[in-house]
Amino acid sequence: MSRYPPPPRNYTALPTGPVRRGPRDVRHDQRLPGLLSGVLLLRLEALDPLHVGTGGLAPVRRGGGGVALALDLVTQNNAAAIPGSSLKGLARSTYEALAGGCDLHGSCNPRCTACLLFGYVERQQTFAGRVGFEDALAIKPHTVPTVAAPLPQAFQPRRAVGRRVYGPPVQGRATPVRALAAPAGTRFLSRMTLRNVSPQELGLVLLGLGVDGSFAPRVGGGRYHGLGRVAITVRRARLREGRQVRPETLRQDRLARQVEAWLEAAEPTSNGREALTVLRNPGGSR
C-alpha cells in the first residue's frame, strides 16, 4: 500500500472496435494502378517539451550547483530527434483505432487492414509494410537547447487499457526524476515513404496524425505529464500514381488541395469516428 493517494489519471482509452480484415496483401515489387508511391515531407512542431528517451541517464547541472541525473534523449547532430520508429508507432496506433485494425489480444490472422499497410512479423512470415517514416531531425539543430523537464509521479496502477490518449497533465507530486527534452517550438522534418498506398489509406494515416489540424498527437515519453504534443503538417509531396513514369511534385496550394482530398477520402469506422472525438478532446479521468 502506498502512503499517498494515487494521482488522478489523465488518459482516455481509445474505443476498440470490430477488426477490419484484408482485403489482400499488396505487393511491393511493382507499382499498381490507382495506388500512390513516393515521399511526403512532414514538418513537426513541438507544442510542449518533447522527450524521446534512449533508456539511459545523462548528467545535468543542478540549479544550486552539483550534478544530477536525467533521463537521456535520442539525439542526432547534437539536437533532439524523433526516431522514425516512434512516428510509425504513433501513425499505426491511431490508424488501427480509426480503421479497425489489430485487436490487442493474440495474433492477427487473417491480416487486418493495419497489418497490411504497416507490416507484420509472425513466425517465419514478415511483411515490411507500405508506409515508412524516416527519423525526424531538428531543422536548426545548433539552435535547439536541451531542457530538463521535471516529471511528477505517474498515476498508479499503470494498468493495460489499450491505446491511450493523454489529456492535459495532472498536478502530481514532483519526484526527483527529470527528463532531457527539446523545448516547445522546436521544429523537425521527416519523410514519410509510400509504396502502393491507396488515397483512402493515406487519408486515414494523415487524419490519425492530426494533419487536418483538429488535434496534436503526443509522441515520446512523459506523455502523462503533458510532454510531446506535435503539430504535423505536410510540406511537400513527390508521388507517382500506379505506373506513372515521372513523379509529380506538389507544393503550396496544389498540395493543400490534394491533402484535403486525401483527408476527405478517409473513411473511419463508426468506432474510428468515436476515437477521433477522443483524440480531439482528450483527457478526463476514467
* Residues of the shown chain interacting with Zn ion in the complex, contacts defined by CB under 5 A: 102, 108, 112, 115
Q: CB-based burial of residue 84 (10 Å sphere; 0-12 exposed, 13-18 middle, 19+ buried)?
A: middle
Q: Smallest distance from the beta carbon of 201 to Zn ion, in angstroms? A: 14
Give the position of cell 489509406: 201
Per the rule left: phi > 0, alpha: psi between -120 and 50, beta: everything else, 205 is alpha
Give the position of cell 470490430: 18
Enumerate helices (H) and strands (E) in the chain, giving the number of each. Answer: 5, 16
Nearer to Zn ion, 80 or 115 (CB): 115
241's CB contacts (< 8 A; 6+ apart) are 33, 34, 35, 36
Nearer to Zn ion, 14 or 115 (CB): 115
Nearer to Zn ion, 92 or 195 (CB): 92
Q: Smallest distance from the beta carbon of 102 to Zn ion, in angstroms? A: 3
Q: Smallest distance from the beta carbon of 271 to Zn ion, in angstroms? A: 15
Q: Smallest distance from the beta carbon of 122 to Zn ion, in angstroms? A: 10
**3-state secondary structure (DSSP) of residue 86:** helix
Nearer to Zn ion, 109 or 281 (CB): 109
- CA distance to 48, 65, 176, per residue, from 57 (Å): 21, 19, 13
Q: Smallest distance from the beta carbon of 101 to Zn ion, in angstroms? A: 5
Nearer to Zn ion, 69 or 104 (CB): 104
Nearer to Zn ion, 50 or 108 (CB): 108
Nearer to Zn ion, 146 or 196 (CB): 196
Nearer to Zn ion, 117 or 138 (CB): 117
Query: Reduced to 3 DSSP states, what percent helix, strand and coil does the chain have, rounded to the nearest 5?
Result: 20, 35, 45
d(CA 231, CA 186): 11
Q: Smallest distance from the beta carbon of 115 to Zn ion, in angstroms? A: 3
Of 167, 205, 197, nearest to 87 by C-alpha is 205
Q: Smallest distance from the beta carbon of 111 to Zn ion, in angstroms? A: 6
Residue nearest to Zn ion (CB): 108
Our CA angle for 116, 122, 123, nearest 5°, is: 150
- CA distance to 89, 228, 238, per residue, from 221 (Å): 13, 7, 32
Q: Smallest distance from the beta carbon of 118 to Zn ion, in angstroms? A: 8
**3-state secondary structure (DSSP) of residue 81:** strand
Number of residues that this document lists for the chain: 286
